[in-house]
């Protein structure tokens, strides 16, 4: 488990497991997008994936997880992009530029992205969990990178500066995502993000 991070594959058996998991996710998302999240039962997903209901829960801890699974990849993308920015750049600008990677991915398949956003919005519980996980994943991954670039922390108590920066930027992303949902799939994500982030702190 604690071995191959981005390696080609772990063991022979592990590869099969990964493939089945991916297939369940694919089939599940298809059904969710077609029929909605709540109306789609685990039974249906399992049947469509050719496994039993019980086995579904051996691959995903919950129905939510099928939708939420996308997030870990996203966080990795942002972290990579952030680490690649010059160390002397303003942190707020670095964050804005790091999001470009995600924006590009979203714009590459506007329909899929819009569908996912609508799905998230339709189910209150999902939406909240998605936002919270995104926050946690991005803060955990991105804050340490930023913290190393900030001037030394003076004063008592923990240093919250880097985490606050990331969380604030994420707040902007969330507002933009809401706006894009209202605007339709052709919204200019990048321009709206520029506007939102510049309102909080000038982009140098």
Partner DNA sequence: GCCAGTATTGACACTGAGTGACAGATAGTC
Partner DNA sequence: GACTATCTGTCACTCAGTGTCAATACTGGC
> Which residues sit at the interface with DNA, rule CB under 7 A?
11-13, 17, 20, 40-43, 50-55, 57-59, 61-64
Give the span between the Cα atoms of 103 and 43, in whole angstroms. 35
- Least distance in angstroms from the C-beta of 121 to DNA: 18
Q: Which stretch, 20-28, 45-53, 78-86, 174-182, contacts a copy of itself (CB under 8 A)? A: 174-182
Three-class HEC string of the chain: CCCCCCCCCCCHHHHHHHHHHHHHHHHHHHHHHHHCCCCCCHHHHHHHHCCCHHHHHHHCCCHHHHHHCCHHHHHHHHHHHHHCCCCCCCHHHHHHHHHHHHHHHHHHCHHHHHHHHHHHHHCHHHHHHHHHHHHHHHHHHHHHHHHCCCCCCCCCCCCCHHHHHHHHHHHHHHHHHHHHHHHCCCCCHHHHHHHHHHHHCCCC
Number of residues engaging a copy of itself in binding (CB under 8 A): 46
Binding track over 121-160 against a copy of itself, x by CB under 8 A: ---xx-xxxxxxx-x---x---------------x-xx-x
Q: Which stretch, 6-14, 31-39, 97-105, 178-186, contacts a copy of itself (CB under 8 A)? A: 178-186
Q: Are 151 and 87 spatial neighbours (Cβ–Cβ below 8 Å)?
A: no
- Least distance in angstroms from the C-beta of 5 to a copy of itself: 23
* Interaction between residue 70 and a copy of itself (CB under 8 A): no
Indicate which of DNA, a copy of itself, none lies near residue 131 (CB less than 5 to 8 Å, by partner kind). Answer: a copy of itself
Complex with DNA: residue 41 or 128, whichever CB lies closer: 41
Nearest by Cα to 170 from 106, 75, 84:
75
Candidate list 47, 179, 190, 203; residue touching a copy of itself; CB under 8 A: 179
Neighbours of 11 (CB within 10 A): 10
Indicate which of DNA, a copy of itself, none lies near residue 86 (CB less than 5 to 8 Å, by partner kind). Answer: none
Complex with DNA: residue 100 or 132, whichever CB lies closer: 132
Per CB under 8 A, residues contacting a copy of itself are 64, 92, 124-125, 127-133, 135, 139, 155, 157-158, 160-172, 174-176, 178-179, 182-183, 187-188, 191-192, 195-197, 199-201
């Amino acid at each position: 488990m604690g071995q191959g991070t981005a390696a080609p594959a772990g063991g022979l058996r592990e590869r099969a497991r990964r493939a089945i998991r991916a297939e369940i996710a694919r089939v599940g998302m298809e059904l969710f997008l077609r029929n909605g999240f709540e109306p789609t039962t685990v039974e249906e997903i399992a049947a469509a994936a050719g496994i039993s209901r019980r086995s579904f829960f051996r691959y995903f801890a919950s129905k939510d997880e099928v939708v939420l699974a996308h997030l870990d990849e996203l966080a990795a993308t942002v972290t990579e992009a952030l680490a690649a920015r010059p160390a002397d750049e303003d942190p707020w600008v670095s964050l804005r530029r790091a999001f470009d990677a995600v924006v590009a991915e979203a714009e590459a398949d506007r329909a899929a992205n819009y569908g996912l956003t609508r799905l998230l919005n339709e189910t209150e519980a999902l939406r909240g969990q998605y936002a919270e996980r995104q926050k946690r994943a991005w803060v955990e991954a991105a804050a340490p990178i930023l913290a190393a670039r900030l001037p030394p922390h003076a004063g008592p108590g923990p240093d919250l500066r880097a985490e606050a920066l990331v969380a604030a930027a994420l707040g902007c992303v969330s507002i933009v995502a809401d706006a894009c949902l209202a605007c339709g799939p052709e919204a200019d994500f990048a321009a709206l993000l520029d506007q939102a982030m510049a309102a909080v702190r000038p982009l140098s």
